[in-house]
């Protein structure tokens, strides 16, 4: 047994427990906040009692566990447990998982193309499959629950470790066992891993004067791709656009700064998003710069339960500035910011440090964005039988999620929400949601182009 390690553990835990308090105390902005934002007063005796309890547990496991476990493994497990109990999005990442996270943000990695969250029983809830990836082509859907990989129950602790288990060499296969609300028996999917090169932006003309813009996820180059491809589409039209359908359905989010760049492309001024946390660097406000690519032409945004995080930031910013109407179903409701902090051994921790707020000061955490126009779900796209209902799980349903500002309030019917029945899918468009958005844009453009009567 390695007894000399115990004083080191005690001093490290003590230092770690005090560091956040020092940061808060040194932050004058936070010092003026409400008592809820101030750490509770804790005596040295209480802190030492907690540290002694940790050391006692460490000793008991070290001495009594059925197999020998080295100190480093126990400490990593303790750190993982510390983060795992905070919220569904905080996690400890080893060096390989840290590299994988960077690869995913760059848009090129080997895998299946799934955005997932781990549930308390270690199963994986699918937020959304990424467009044109093995998972999307195989028919995996938002709301599916992955219970086993290659016939083995998921053992990974933490969503990033579970994602790592689904990765492997390009060309190798992974067999996923999936539970679906509409199926009485587990479904089996065999997917071939490939290099996921996500083209996050896709545009096309729906008809003269009206364009379609699809953003599948927010990567490092999304902002630049959006500007380039949208300008090309405008040039194809040979005239300024009269309206844009912006499709954010099943967009799981991604990098906040690229969502801000996307919003900036359609705004001339004003706040795009603000973040608020306990530390000074968690407080920020990002604003737009002059240069609306559409010169004020109306935008119709399509969203659903798979629209999350950075995608919700974009939708919220354009709606608050009255640049867009939102159509579809309520979004996922992930309104929190995760910061990745590298460690000296190549590992890192991903910890929730702030909440997002839309320009009007509204938090979307656990509440999401309720569309201005509710559209019926595309049951023909998803249903296996007549009893199927689309998944309704949101951020607020995840155990341990951050509480939203308005989460405990009873929902109030919004008299401005317009219930619209989707029309039959036309052959020239992708789906009924896009058709509804196009019809709405045509109506808005009529009022925009009609001069006021004198």
Q: Enumerate the active-site residues.
A: 309, 320, 334
**Taking the alpha carbons of 271, 276, 279, 282 in that order, is the dihedral positive or negative?**
negative
Strands 348-357 and 271-277: antiparallel
Q: Are 287 and 274 in contact (CB under 8 A)?
A: no
Tokens of 293: 């690519």
Size (the chain), residues = 454
Burial 71-95 (b: 16+ CB within 10 A, else e): eeebbeebebeebbeebbbbbbbbe
For residue 50, what are the CA distances in angstroms to 42, 191, 237? 11, 47, 67
- Distance (Å, whole) CA 441 – CA 247: 14
Torsion sign, CA atoms 260, 266, 270, 273: negative
CA distances for 321 relative to 147, 287, 334, 357, 403, angstroms: 42, 12, 21, 13, 26
β-strands 114-118, 124-129 pairing: antiparallel
d(CA 127, CA 110): 19
Query: What residues have CB less than 8 Å from 8, skipping those under 6 apart?
Result: none
145 CB neighbour count, 10 Å cutoff: 19
Rounded (10°) CA dihedral 439, 444, 447, 450: -80
Rounded CA-CA distance 205/112 in Å is 30
Taking alpha carbons only, the member of 316, 442, 401 closest to residue 89 is: 401
> For the CA atoms of the chain, what is the radius of gyration?
24
Copy the structure tokens of residue 280. Answer: 């000074």
């Amino acid at each position: 047994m390695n007894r000399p390690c115990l004083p080191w553990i005690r001093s490290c835990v003590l230092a770690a427990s005090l560091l956040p308090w020092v940061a808060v105390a040194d932050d004058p902005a936070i010092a003026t906040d409400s008592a809820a934002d101030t750490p509770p007063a804790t005596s040295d005796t209480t802190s030492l009692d907690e540290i002694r309890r940790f050391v006692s547990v460490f000793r008991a496991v070290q001495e009594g566990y059925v197999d020998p476990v080295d100190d480093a493994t126990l400490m990593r497990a303790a750190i993982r447990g510390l983060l795992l109990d905070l919220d569904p999005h905080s996690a400890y990442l080893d060096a390989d998982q840290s590299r994988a996270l960077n690869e995913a943000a760059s848009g090129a990695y080997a895998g299946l193309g799934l955005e997932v969250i781990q549930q308390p029983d270690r199963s994986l809830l699918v937020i959304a499959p990424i467009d044109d990836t093995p998972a999307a082509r195989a028919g995996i859907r938002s709301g599916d629950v992955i219970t086993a990989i290659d016939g083995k129950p998921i053992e990974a602790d933490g969503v990033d470790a579970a994602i790592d288990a689904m990765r492997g060499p390009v060309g190798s296969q992974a067999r996923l066992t999936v539970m679906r609300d509409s199926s009485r028996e587990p479904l089996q999917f065999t997917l071939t891993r490939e290099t996921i090169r996500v083209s996050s932006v896709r545009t096309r003309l729906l008809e003269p004067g009206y364009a379609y813009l699809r953003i599948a996820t927010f990567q490092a180059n999304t902002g630049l791709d959006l500007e380039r491809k949208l300008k090309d589409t405008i040039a194809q039209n040979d005239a300024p656009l009269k309206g844009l359908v912006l499709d954010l359905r099943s967009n799981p989010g991604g990098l906040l700064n690229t969502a801000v760049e996307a919003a900036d492309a359609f705004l001339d001024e004003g706040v795009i998003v603000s973040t608020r946390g306990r530390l000074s660097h968690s407080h920020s406000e990002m604003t737009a710069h002059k240069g609306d690519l559409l010169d004020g032409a109306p935008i119709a945004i399509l969203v659903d339960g798979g629209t999350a995080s950075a995608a919700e930031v974009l939708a919220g910013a354009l709606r608050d500035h009255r640049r867009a109407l939102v159509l579809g179903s309520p979004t996922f409701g992930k309104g929190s910011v995760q910061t990745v902090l590298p460690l000296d051994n190549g590992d890192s921790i991903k910890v929730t440090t702030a909440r997002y707020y839309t320009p009007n000061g509204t938090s979307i955490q656990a509440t999401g964005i309720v569309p201005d126009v509710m559209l019926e779900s595309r049951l023909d796209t998803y249903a296996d039988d007549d009893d199927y209902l689309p998944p309704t799980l949101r951020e607020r349903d995840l155990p341990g999620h951050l509480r939203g500002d308005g989460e405990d309030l009873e929902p109030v019917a919004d008299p401005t929400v317009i219930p619209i029945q989707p029309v039959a899918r036309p052959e020239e468009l992708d789906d009924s949601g896009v058709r509804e958005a196009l019809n709405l844009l045509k109506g808005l453009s009529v009022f925009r182009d009609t001069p006021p009567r004198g």
